[in-house]
């Protein structure tokens, strides 16, 4: 039996009207990325300690989306994150999902540098029948009706997440993007290590301020 210490970041909102979190951060970025970053940050030292003491591989999984390909052209809008005038519901969602991949990749780089037995990966769960599109009524109705013929149910949508978190086939694999339980190629922006480092520093300033 394969043992692992797995943590998965999966909370999310999609294509919401512009709003700010209680901390004054654009809502999609705050929910889909900053919340995950903070939770991981708070648990990280405990996870490292547990992995060392148990000699069991730890795994961190960020649930991203193919929507990361529709982020703003610069990838992450550090200087315009809360700019309502230039806000795009889809691009802002893509930005937050791109951040999920960059976060996982930077974690993987740091774990390798530290020699820590923890992996970090990101994934696309597939198009699933959920209420994520509730802010777009026509599309939401279509996804809940016609979508039942082509979209994944919740169990199918969780399959890749479970595979990356628990399956022996993912042992030792880190800093990768997955889809349908297989390695998949993300966008060029998602592979930008410098952008990932900049995002790490930017988000760390947000959560420790």
Exposed / middle / buried, residue 167 (Cβ in 10 Å: 0-12, 13-18, 19+):
middle
Report the phi/psi class of residue 75: left, alpha or beta, with left for phi > 0 and alpha for psi in -120 to 50: left
Please give the angle made by the CA atoms of 183, 189 and 190, to the nearest 5 degrees: 35
Structure tokens at 103: 């976060």
Q: Residue 71 CB: number of other CB atoms within 10 A?
A: 24
Rounded distance between C-alpha atoms, residue 119 and residue 116, angstroms:
8
Structure tokens at 170: 């993912």
Structure tokens at 124: 């696309």
Active-site pick, 87, 93, 163, 177: 87
Kindly compute the dihedral angle of the four CA atoms of residues 32, 37, 43, 49, in this order, to the nearest 10 degrees.
130
202 is catalytic: no
Residues belonging to the active site: 87
């Amino acid at each position: 039996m394969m043992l692992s210490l797995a943590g998965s970041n999966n909370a999310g909102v999609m294509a919401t009207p512009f709003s700010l979190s209680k901390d004054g951060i654009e809502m999609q970025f705050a929910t889909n990325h900053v919340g995950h970053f903070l939770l991981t940050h708070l648990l990280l030292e405990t996870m490292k300690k547990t992995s060392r003491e148990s000699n069991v591989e730890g795994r961190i999984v960020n649930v991203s989306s193919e929507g990361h390909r529709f982020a703003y052209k610069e990838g992450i809008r550090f200087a315009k994150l809360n700019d309502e005038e230039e806000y795009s519901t889809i691009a802002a969602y893509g930005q937050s999902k791109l951040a999920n991949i960059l976060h996982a990749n930077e974690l993987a780089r740091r774990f390798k540098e530290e020699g820590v037995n923890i992996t970090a990966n990101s994934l696309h769960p597939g198009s699933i029948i959920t209420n994520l599109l509730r802010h777009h009524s026509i599309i939401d109705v279509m996804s809940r009706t016609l979508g039942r013929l082509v979209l994944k149910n919740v169990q199918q949508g969780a399959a890749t997440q479970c595979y990356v978190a628990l399956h022996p086939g993912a042992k030792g694999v880190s800093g990768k993007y997955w889809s349908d339980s297989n390695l998949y190629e993300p966008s060029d922006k998602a592979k930008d290590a410098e952008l990932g480092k900049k995002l790490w520093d930017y988000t760390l300033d947000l959560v420790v301020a």
